[in-house]
Structure 1
């Protein structure tokens, strides 16, 4: 009638009553040990999830509770899962050293692939009652860097404005609004302002962050930032001060610090970088928000299309996900028009639209790297026009280029054509060992790997 679990809950309630009365000697230790004590005494499993764990170490407070957690997290019946938005300080300083070193295993949350980003866009559209076309969904995911929050925010913004997202122009206009005054602006402004408040070194933190976002290329030039700071704000600071500020910004994942090399680069977050440029003009330079938003919208509406064939890119996204889902497995050879089944390796990375240098025919639709084996794949979405030998020869040239640039032992070549292939092309591919698939074959592969089939209700073909 009175289990130990119930008594522990009552003990927890008494703890909250005793705290304001100063009747607990070490309240932080008592609170942190309580979940483990509950699971130990009642012989049950209690799972703890702690978000924004980097806030256990705040520079403005002169205490650290991490040491008290060492015993709490070692219980097999009370596992702790911790997450955070500032992974650098979390992994390197809190979990990577000191009392909690070796007591956690890390599992990075990677960006969504194009396929799953498209799925999220589709489901968000259903939730918000927004109209996002199947063809544009993978482009939306790519522009958002595979970040679930950004994808959902853009779809939500489209719903709020009563706008459809069917073309890149639609997407650019929605992005311009959300980056400068919408959901993304609100969330990122809050995160950036909180982190700057934590460090605020030398009164130049905002300027250094803004100027780093304006840098050309990925690598940051500290001397150029120092010069720009003098030109824009008339502040004379040393290179060492700039370095110190960038180190602290890197702890909040606002820039990347290559610690062994002693240099910095921009974060790989396209939306955050665009936001910082807008935020800097408004909050740092003090320009009119309305004027900055108008300029951003004008810039985005003038952007050239990045994807000439939206349906072709959609097929590439699905093809890449087939390979990712089938890693370390075999796929039926019939879907590639081969007698034997095809073994899929474990890929170290897979990229879409990868360019190898400058010039024509240097872009590879799909490139998967698996050590000594690489894959090169291409997609053509022509409904009533079968692919001929010329396109196959160009793909083989790209495979040779990948072999030369990346030095694998061999390159597997795969060609998808919605409209099929000419008889001459089929014979040529058989001779050259090229894997090939039609629309029906790709749908079969999607079924086999547990993925959704390609949508079939496009209004036009490309």
Structure 2
């Protein structure tokens, strides 16, 4: 291959084929998904892989997972092995120029990745370091490539560039499968921003041409994108691609891993975030990794430590109204509104939907307020149509079967929309709006009376999640026999069952016929006595009444331990109990970080 360096010094070879954006020091808890896509890709060698969609809300780390899985496949296999699985990575543009240019870009990208992998040279991937002429010459002169692969270059030279193909995008999309099928080799195509395969405003819709391409056992396609509703409902949930993808859902981080991300982000950005406030930060950010990292960056930029809820509220107010979160969400909202602003009312409807008091959106009330605020009369059908289009961008949620709408499950986005609406829609003074938001946040009442106790609950919940379908040493629960942990359908922190005192459960896990209820007390100066245990048993009885399991297992953690009477009482009632030393031992056993030692 003829690739010359322009400098006399030897260039540094990157250890990535596609560069990850999140620093290794910050990247947290997506190993399950990395391993899944890496192993599923390798299964292509035995023809056991199936095309798969990674489905989740925006800013959950889907693109980062794809990039890291591609890099593992690129560097952790023997590139000379004919059985190796070749990774291809492509991002669909959100503003395609035309279908011919797309076809050229897609086909050339395929050749670049194939050549780069087989020659273990990442410079081939980019046109900046390897021209098309050099790429084609390299492929034609190398004995590593089959005649099928070399002859396929004609698709570009004699077909697309010569304008000799009627539907060039169809040929380009089926190219990876045709080569892998004919040569009986293994290729995996990773496609990001897949929702851009259907862009009506640009007369760009290529989904139908992927139908056969994604079904090949020699060339599965892994797809993801930033618009979950379009992916799930419009592209994969109906039409040509319906039933051709396995779904791999991804959600927010658990509270433990969100807390770990807050710790790592703070260290990386040189921010000062206390160990006890970190889980509260995570809860306020909806366990969204982007928001958590943004708060850490804002804390570092302002040189303001976050040690209390008041500190956190101040930083959140700043970032929501003028910081990293504002910039990201403003860009997302502006781009989507630009796509769909047909009636000149889209901004108002989005803003008013965020102001709705309940979760369910009232179309008639939105119409009335729109008339009061902007003197615009619109029909219910017009509002409905706009809400449907907003739901395609995950800005509201559309319950299609019932034909009704509700707010998205993203507390930060909803708060942003209120601030954005006052500034961008109502035209209020930005400085006054931001000052009002800061006053609102600084006046908020504390939500957590005992930060250390909440931190312990976060760790207890993650122990249960990590130990599902496994047994834990009984001695750490003060039991003679080891304790078997079930597989939970869900596990919630601070779950309320109705209104009133003593109806909030610290940790509640549901596993069908068996439920778990757990509580923590972080008292350094006193032991837990029988009254606290009785309250836990009352909550177990509450779970029994409300959820109707056959059995409720109770577990109590006390930092300093329990009185002798309380220990005897728990033994007689079948309550599991752990001290600080027990909890650290359980964390060690399940591969988790111990409780912070400085609290």
Q: TM-score, normalised by structure 2?
A: 0.74
Which 10-residue stretch deviates more, 54-63 or 24-33? 24-33
Question: Corresponding residue for 2:487?
Answer: 346
Give the 5 Å matches for 1:24-423: 24-40=165-181, 43-423=184-564
Seen in structure 2, the aligned counterparts of structure 1 residues 324 and 9 have a Cα distance that, compared at 3 Å, is: farther
CA separation in 2, counterparts of 1:180 and 1:46? 45
Unaligned runs of 5+ in 2: 1-141
* Structural mapping, 1:416-435, within 5 Å: 416-435=557-576
Greater displacement, 181-190 / 316-325:
181-190
**TM-score relative to the length of structure 1:** 0.95
2:212 counterpart SS class: helix
Counterpart of 2:59 in structure 1 is none
Question: Is residue 449 of structure 1 aligned with residue 449 of structure 2?
Answer: no
Distance 1:35 1:126 in 2: 43
Q: What secondary structure sits across from 1:295 in the alignment? A: helix
Is 63-72 or 102-111 further displaced after alignment? Answer: 63-72
Q: Which moved more, 1:28-37 or 1:443-452?
A: 28-37
Structure 1 partner of 2:132: none
- Cα distance in 1 for partners of 2:323, 2:504 equals 35
String of CA shifts for 1:304-337, please: whole Å, max 9, x gaps.
1111111111000000001111111111111111
Checking the alignment, whether the CA contact within 8 Å between 1:4 and 1:42 is kept in structure 2 is no
Tell me which moved more, 2-11 or 69-78. Answer: 2-11
Of the structure 1 ranges 13-22 and 61-70, higher mean CA displacement relative to structure 2 is found in 13-22
Residue 439 (structure 1) aligns with: 580
- CA deviations on 1:151-200 (whole Å, 9 max, x unpaired) are 11111111222222221111111111111111111111111112222222
- CA shift, 1:5, in A, is 5.6
* 1:5–1:41 contact (8 Å) kept in structure 2: no
Q: 1:287 to 1:440 in 2, by over 3 A?
A: same
What is the total number of aligned residue pairs between the two structures?
458
Q: Aligned pair in 2 of structure 1 residues 125, 241: CA closer, same or farther (>3 Å)?
A: same
How far, CA to CA, are the matches of 1:20 and 1:187 in structure 2?
A: 38
Hey, what's the Cα distance between the residues in 2 that align with 1:266 and 1:80? 32
SS in 1 for 2:186: coil
Match of 2:29 in 1: none
Unaligned runs of 5+ in 1: none
Deviation of 1:455 after TM superposition, in Å, equals 0.9
Compared with structure 1, are the counterparts of its residues 184 and 6 closer, same or farther at alpha carbon in structure 2 (3 Å cutoff)?
farther
Change (3 A) 1:415 1:234: same
Measure, in 2, the Cα distance between the counterparts of 1:245 and 1:206: 10
Report how far residue 11 of structure 1 moved. 5.1
Secondary structure in 2 matching 1:300: helix
Contact map agreement 1:118 1:138 (CA 8 A) in 2? yes
Q: Is the 8 A contact 1:115 1:321 kept in 2?
A: yes
The structural deviation recorded for 1:23 is 4.3
**Deviations along 1:399-444, whole A, 9 cap, x unmatched?**
1112111111221111000010000100111111111100111111
Q: Residue deviations 1:236-255, cap 9 Å, x none?
A: 11222212221221222111
1:122 Cα deviation from its structure 2 partner: 1.2
Alignment check: 8 A CA contact 2:465 2:488 kept: yes
More displaced 10-residue stretch of structure 1: 423-432 or 118-127: 118-127
Q: CA deviation at 1:383?
A: 1.4
